[in-house]
Structure 1
Amino acid sequence: MPATEGRLHQACLDLLSGSDIQFNRHSRLDIALVKNLPLALVFLPAADIPTFVGEGRVDLGITGRDQVAEHECVVPPTATTGVEEVLDLGFGKCALQVQVPAKGSLAKPEDLIGKNVVTSFTNLAEEYFRKLEAEQAGGAANGTSDGKAKLKTIIKYVGGSVEAACALGVADGIVDLVESGETMRAAGLKAISTVVSSSAILIKSKHASDPKLVELITARIKGVITAQKYVLCTYNVERSKLDAARKITPGRRAPTVNALEEDGWVAVQAMVLSEGYCDCHGQVDRDWRE
C-alpha cells in the first residue's frame, strides 16, 4: 500500500482496519507483520507498487489506476506478467489532464505539439502526444503510431510542483493529476484534455504465493467497500402498499418484512445505496411511512 502520509494513505489504513487486518507499524520500517493473519504489509511509493505486484514479489497492492497505466506503458502486461485489477476502491478519484495557462493562446492539445510539456507521468504523456502527433499527421489509423518515430513534443520530468512549470517558464503546458481543480486554478491553468481517469484500486499478482489468502483478503475488502455504499432504511407501511414500497426500497436482494401488532401494518428494512438514500427516505416518508 502507499507509504506516504496523507488522505489516501489514511483511507488505505481505514480500509485495512475495516477488513480486520491488525498490525502495528514502526515509524522507521516499511514492513509490518499482521497479528491475526499470516501475512506482511509492505509500504511502498505508489509508483512502485505495480512493479512489485506485477513481478510477483507482492500478492496484493493498493495504488492508483494512473500508476498502473504509467507502468504498463513501459512494461506491457502479458498472459503471465503484469497485474490484474480486482476492485475499484471508490476513493482517490482524479484525472490525469493536459493543462495550459488559462489566459494563454493554447486552447487544444494539438497546440502543444512541438512544445515543452512538463509532467511526473512521462510515459503516459509520451504515449498521449505520440498518438496525437500521428493523428495530426494522418499517418496512423485509429490514433495508433509508430513507436520509433521521433517525438516532436518535448516531454520533461519533474517530481513535484508540476503546476508551477508554466509560470516559471519551464513548460508551455503540463500533464498532471487533477482532483478538485483548486490547485490548477490557483496556478492560473485550465484543463484541455484528459489522458486517463483514475482512482485507488486493488490489484493482484498473476502468480500469487497464497491464492486462498489472497481470496480471503479480497473478500474482506469487497465487504467493506460494499458496506460503505449502503445504508439501512427502516420504516413502517400498510401491508396493502407494500408492493409499491418495495419498488422504492428493493434492497440489495430483497427487503426484510415483519408483521406489526397493529393489523394491516408491517415493518420494512432494506439496504439502499447511500447516494440515493435521501430520495428513497423522502418518498417513503411522504407517501407511506407511519
Structure 2
Amino acid sequence: MNLRIAIQKSGRLNEDSLKILKECGISIDNGKDQLKASARNFPMDVFYLRNGDIPQYLKDGVVDIAVIGENVLFEKGEGIEVAEKLGFSKCKVSMAIPKNNAYSNYKDFEGKRIATSYPHTVQKFLEGWGITADIHLINGSVEIAPNIGLADVICDIVSSGSTLFKNNLKEVEVLLKSEAVLAVSPKIDQERRQILDKLRFRIRSVLQARKNRYVLMNVPNTSLDAILKILPGMRSPTVLPLADEGWSSVHTVINKDKFWEVIDELRLAGAEGILVCPIEKMVL
C-alpha cells in the first residue's frame, strides 16, 4: 500500500514540492506530462493536479496528503488537517485599491465592488467586520478589474507587490499570510498514516537543516569562556584541542536568522578561521 500525495501540476509550488521530496531521499520516476508517478525507494504515489482541485481530492480521500498553499486551504479546504508547515512559497492574501484612492480602515469596503479569485475568503472577513460588499468572482488577471471599471477593490495573492505596483494599485489590508503546508485527508487510513509519520520525520530533518548552519572556529583558550557564552548551540558546543598549544577548535550549530549577529560577536571575542557549512539533514 502506497501513500498518495498530490502536488501542483506546474509552477513554483511544483518545483519546491519535488525538491523537498528529493531532499527527503525520495526518488520519483516521472516523465513529461505524466499525471501520476511512483517513488522508487519509498511507498508513495505522486499525483500532479490543478492547485484548486487538490482540496476536494483530499476531502474525497482520492489522495492522502498534499503539498498546498494555506491560502487555498482557507478558501476551499475547511476542516482539512495541516500536518506540517513547509516554509516555502510564502505570500499574502491582501485587499488592494487604486493607489490614488484614500483609505482609512476596513469600513471603507462597505458597499464596494470587490474582484477576487478568493470569494469565500473575502466573505469570511467581510462577515467578521460586519461589512456588506458586492463580490465579483474573477479567475485570473484580477489586478485589471479597477482599471476597466469592474471593481473598486481587489483581493488577491501578493508576493513581492510588483504586480500591484505595475497596475497602479496599493495594498491596504492583509487578510492572511500563507506558505506551503503538508495537508492530510480526513479519510486517511491507519496504515497510510504510519507511512506519513515516516515522511514527516524526514521532512522535519530537512526543514531543521535549512534553518541552521554548522560553524567551526579556532579560539585561543584565553577567550574560550567568552566564546562559549555567546554560542547558542543545540546543547553545548564541541571543543577540541588544536595541535598549536593554547588553541581549541569549537564546533556548533547556529540558526541562520541569527547568524551574522552571532558571527560578529564571535570575531570580537577572539574567534578566528571561522568556517561555515550548510547542513544536509538535521535529525533531532
TM-score, normalised to structure 2, is: 0.87
The equivalent of 2:207 in structure 1 is 225
Q: Cα–Cα, structure 1 residues 289 and 217, in superposed 2: closer, same or farther, change >3 Å? A: same
In the alignment, structure 1 residue 195 sits paired with structure 2 residue 175: yes
Give the Å deviation of 1:196.
0.9
The equivalent of 1:41 in structure 2 is 46
The equivalent of 2:90 in structure 1 is 93
Q: Partners in 2 of 1:59 and 1:257 — Cα distance?
A: 46
In the alignment, structure 1 residue 241 sits paired with structure 2 residue 240: no
Q: Deviations over 1:110-151 (max 9, x none)?
A: 2222121110001011111122235xxxxxxxxxxxxxxxxx
Is the contact made by 2:91 and 2:158 (CA closer than 8 Å) also made in structure 1?
yes
Instruction: Indicate which of 63, 66, 74 corresponds to 1:69.
Output: 74
Q: Percent identical across equivalent pairs? A: 28
Q: Partners in 2 of 1:240 and 1:50 — Cα distance?
A: 60
Q: Deviations over 1:150-195 (max 9, x none)?
A: xx41111111011111111111101111111111111111111111
Instruction: Indicate which of 165, 172, 180 corresponds to 2:160.
Output: 180
Give the Å deviation of 1:219.
1.0
Q: Partners in 1 of 2:104 and 2:202 — Cα distance?
A: 46
Instruction: Indicate which of 56, 70, 75 corresponds to 1:51.
Output: 56
In the alignment, structure 1 residue 104 sits paired with structure 2 residue 104: no
Q: Cα–Cα, structure 1 residues 57 and 252, in superposed 2: closer, same or farther, change >3 Å? A: farther
TM-score, normalised to structure 1, is: 0.85
Instruction: Indicate which of 57, 62, 65 corresponds to 1:60.
Output: 65
Secondary structure of the residue aligned to 1:184 is helix
The equivalent of 2:255 in structure 1 is 273
Q: Partners in 1 of 2:210 and 2:46 — Cα distance?
A: 23
Is the contact made by 1:248 and 1:280 (CA closer than 8 Å) also made in structure 2?
yes
Is the contact made by 1:106 and 1:112 (CA closer than 8 Å) also made in structure 2?
no
Secondary structure of the residue aligned to 2:207 is helix
Give the Å deviation of 1:216.
0.9
Is the contact made by 1:22 and 1:36 (CA closer than 8 Å) also made in structure 2?
yes
The equivalent of 2:25 in structure 1 is 20
In the alignment, structure 1 residue 211 sits paired with structure 2 residue 193: yes
Q: Partners in 1 of 2:139 and 2:152 — Cα distance?
A: 17
The one-letter code sitting in structure 1 at the alignment partner of 2:97 is V
Aligned length: 265
Instruction: Indicate which of 137, 141, 146 corresponds to 1:166.
Output: 146
Q: What CA RMSD, in Å, does the superposition of the two structures yield over aligned residues?
A: 1.8
Structure in which a larger fraction of residues adopt strand: 2
**Unaligned stretches of 5+ in structure 2?**
1-5, 273-284
In the alignment, structure 1 residue 115 sits paired with structure 2 residue 112: yes
Give the Å deviation of 1:106.
4.7
The equivalent of 2:276 in structure 1 is none
Instruction: Indicate which of 122, 129, 143 corresponds to 1:125.
Output: 122
Is the contact made by 1:56 and 1:206 (CA closer than 8 Å) also made in structure 2?
yes
Q: Partners in 2 of 1:97 and 1:171 — Cα distance?
A: 15
Secondary structure of the residue aligned to 1:160 is coil
**Unaligned stretches of 5+ in structure 1?**
78-82, 135-151
Q: Cα–Cα, structure 1 residues 281 and 130, in superposed 2: closer, same or farther, change >3 Å? A: same
Instruction: Indicate which of 1, 5, 10 corresponds to 1:5.
Output: 10
Q: Cα–Cα, structure 1 residues 117 and 250, in superposed 2: closer, same or farther, change >3 Å? A: same
Give the Å deviation of 1:287.
2.0
The one-letter code sitting in structure 1 at the alignment partner of 2:149 is G
Secondary structure of the residue aligned to 1:193 is strand
Give the Å deviation of 1:238.
2.6
The one-letter code sitting in structure 1 at the alignment partner of 2:199 is I
Q: Partners in 2 of 1:251 and 1:61 — Cα distance?
A: 34
The one-letter code sitting in structure 2 at the alignment partner of 1:35 is R
Q: Partners in 2 of 1:248 and 1:8 — Cα distance?
A: 38
Q: Partners in 2 of 1:156 and 1:240 — Cα distance?
A: 69
Give the Å deviation of 1:203.
1.7
Q: Cα–Cα, structure 1 residues 188 and 260, in superposed 2: closer, same or farther, change >3 Å? A: same
